[in-house]
Amino acid sequence: MPDLDPPMDPHDVRRKRLLYLSQHRGMKEADILIGTFAAQHLATMSLAQLERYERLLEEEDADLMDWLMGKYPVPDDVKSDVFDLLQQFKLY
């Protein structure tokens, strides 16, 4: 029987993977904040922004949350337009 499902765009596959990683960080607060952000923003991110977002997800939850809440200064290698979007994101 032939495969009736068209192949998925590799960028869509990447976005789905990033969404999953965003929603399953390991720290409930990060799951909610970063997961909701990803659900609302991944579809409109450029490929370059997806790369920066992917690198951002490599950071530890505790560090990300501390930077987002302004508890500690954001390291230069973490600063980006994507981090700024995440920092400005409001859940409500």
Domains of the chain: 12-17+26-88 (1.10.150)
Question: At 3, is the pLDDT very low, low, confident or very high (cuts 50, 70, 90)?
Answer: low
Q: How is residue 64 written in tokens?
A: 């990300």
Q: Smallest Cα–Cα separation from 83: which of 70, 91, 32?
A: 70
Q: Other CB atoms closer than 10 Å to residue 68's CB: what's the count?
A: 19
Length of the chain: 92
Residue 76: count of CB within 10 angstroms of its CB: 7
Question: What tens digit of pLDDT does each residue of 7-62 get?
Answer: 678 888 999 999 999 999 989 999 999 999 999 999 999 999 999 999 999 999 99
Per-residue confidence (pLDDT) for residue 91, from 0 to 100 = 77
DSSP code of residue 77 = T
Task: Judge contact between 38 and 91, C-beta under 8 A.
Answer: no
